[in-house]
Amino acid sequence: MAVTGDALLTGDDVAGILRVSKATLARWRVLGTGPGYVKKQGRILYRAETVEKFVTSKERTKTRGTDAG
Residue 3 has pLDDT above 80, yes or no: no
CA–CA dist 53, 69 (Å, integer) = 31
Cα atoms found within 13 Å of the Cα of residue 22, Cβ hemisphere only? 7
- Condensed to tens digits (0 to 9), the pLDDT of residues 41-64 reads 999 999 999 999 999 999 888 887
pTM: 0.79
Residue 68 has pLDDT above 80, yes or no: no
The overall average pLDDT reported for the chain is 90
Helices 11-18, 48-57: inter-axial angle, 10-degree rounding: 30
Please tell me the predicted confidence (pLDDT) of residue 69: 53
Q: Where are the domains of the chain?
A: 8-57
